[in-house]
Structure 1
Amino acid sequence: MKIENEKWKVNGIELNVAQYGPKDGPPVILLHGFPENSKAIIEAFKDLAEKSLHIIAPDQRGYGVSDKPKEIKNYSLEILTKDMEELIQNMGLKDVTLVGHDWGGMVAWFLTNRRPDLVKKLIVINSPHYEIFKRNFLMNPVQLLKSSYIFLFLIPKLPEIVLNWDNFAVFKFFLHRSAHPKTDQLQEAWKQEGAITSMLNWYRAMIYNLRLPSRNIQVPTLLVWGEDDVFLQKEMALQSLHYCNDGKVKFIKNAGHWVHHQRIEEIIGEL
């Protein structure tokens, strides 16, 4: 069995979509975060195929070999979520288990909020509900400090220079500092034309996410949280449960933001 890649047209763009496992099995959509891609997250979850599950991992817009619109407004959470909504519909998927990490978790939260009819179960990995993140980012000085790198990303052009320098040396250094175990495997995707700018545009479009509609998540929800996350306070996981009708948190000790690479066995066990 090998990973298959297909191009799918959604929401006016074309996405690269990786698939693994039996296509007649229950579908599991994996949404990667910054600065990963479909290959990184599908490699982490490949063992799900042994349970006869159909694993689907798109390069979200701006990433990998998917399209990379230039305007910042094209990376608002509403547009990113519309991509995944149309992908599920165009692929004819039913009873989807949706798994999202980091920014992919934000998309998963909002998609499940907006279209609970498309999602059977929600699993979010080290990504708070978008309302909880907004509240802590704006009002919690500890989280503001943890998220201070975002202010660098908002500066035009400078972060591209820094992150591209010396074959992504600075980029890889900071990921190593956060205990990412597979940094070298990501740089081929970063080399795609316009990739670094497009990835940063997810952050630059945050201003469009300030007034998103929100209601309680109606499907069963599991938050998996590596306790040693250097970017996000674990208290936000518990706070996120206030937006879930049927939610629980699984904290994983001795793991951080990249828990899906560090302790994948425990996550698959929870799934």
Structure 2
Amino acid sequence: MPATDAAATEWTVPADGEAWSHETVETNGVELHAVTAGPEDGELVVLLHGFPEFWYAWHHQIPALAEAGYRVVAPDMRGYNRSEKPDGVDAYHVDELVSDVAGAVRAFGRESAHVVGHDWGGLVAWQTAIDRPGLVDRLAVLNAPHPARYERALRRSPAQLAKSWYAFAFQVPRVPEWSLRHDDFAALERMLREKPVRPDAFTETDIERYEAALDRPGALTAAVNYYRSLFRRNARLTLTRGGLGEASVEVPTLLVWGERDGMLDVRLTEGLDEWVADIRIERLPDASHWVQFDAPDRVSEHLLSHLS
């Protein structure tokens, strides 16, 4: 079992009167900080956050899953918050991120797990199901496109290409980090205050915690390196390096999509049966990209229904 990090007590949220555990998971040559909850013998659920978040992105869903009897593991993905921050862009290639998930599942003594991801965590969840189908029992993704569907949209849809401007802007050295940190993370604060549909989706405390996690040494560059890694190792998007036809997902899949996503076109939810054998799609018209904050109860309900 992973070693408990007794010192990592800040930002622990009570569940049923008991504190969640902070643990250190050794996987794929790095140490990841993770929050765990639920019975140790429950079915394992791994929650993967997106950009620019950390484990706290799931603080609405963790208690619902734990109370339903699942063993929940919500790591800070490599580079984020308390997790180790390896140097270099290649350290954040999708292959490494998938290997992190695989190693984390093994660290908890399991051969497979339910894998749930949002945004970048969703891309990693998709790729894990594609590359290591035996590792994933059930897949659930929130506002993250299937890799092949996304690449096709970037090639054929000027609208999605325009929405994805930031992924290309992040390829520039140093400037993205300066822009994000400028004026005490003003851009991040605007993103969390203005982009959700529900005005109080992110509280003052939520925003302070996001900023503090991103302000840790090396965290900002690591977060941007996720995007820089997309165009490394070959001339194609690395997510579909095997070709658009070699990205099939065989496990039961849930896709939850906040339709008022300003970064990802809702049409990315269409045509997925070309790659996904068994998919259920839940579109939430009154939710944004930050769907688990805009509609936390409905997201939890959809996850519980899918995983049971």
- Common fold: TM-score over 0.5: yes
1:206-217 equivalent positions in 2, closer than 5 A: 206-208=230-232, 209=238, 211-213=240-242, 214-217=246-249
CA contact (8 A) 1:122 1:222 kept: yes
TM-score of the superposed pair, with normalisation by structure 2: 0.84
Flag the 1:199–1:173 CA change in 2: closer, same or farther, 3 A. Answer: same
Aligned pair 1:68/2:113, yes or no? no
Q: Counterpart of 2:25?
A: 8
1:34-183 equivalent positions in 2, closer than 5 A: 34-179=51-196, 181=202, 182-183=206-207
Aligned pair 1:238/2:264, yes or no? no
Aligned pair 1:205/2:222, yes or no? no
Q: Aligned pairs, how many?
A: 271
* Segment drifting more, 176-185 vs 51-60: 176-185
By how many angstroms is 1:43 displaced?
4.1
Deviations 1:142-201 (A, max 9, x none): 001111122322211111111111211122113322126243331110111011100000
By how many angstroms is 1:6 displaced?
1.1
By how many angstroms is 1:132 displaced?
1.2
Aligned-residue identity in percent: 35
SS of the residue 1:150 aligns to? helix
CA contact (8 A) 2:105 2:112 kept: no
Aligned pair 1:190/2:214, yes or no? yes
CA contact (8 A) 1:22 1:49 kept: yes
What letter corresponds to residue 287 of structure 2 in structure 1?
Answer: A
Flag the 1:7–1:252 CA change in 2: closer, same or farther, 3 A. Answer: same
CA contact (8 A) 2:127 2:239 kept: no
What letter corresponds to residue 296 of structure 2 in structure 1?
Answer: I
What letter corresponds to residue 58 of structure 1 in structure 2?
Answer: P
CA contact (8 A) 1:24 1:54 kept: yes
Write the distance in 1 (CA, Å) between the matches of 2:151 and 2:295: 28
By how many angstroms is 1:69 displaced?
1.2
TM-score of the superposed pair, with normalisation by structure 1: 0.95
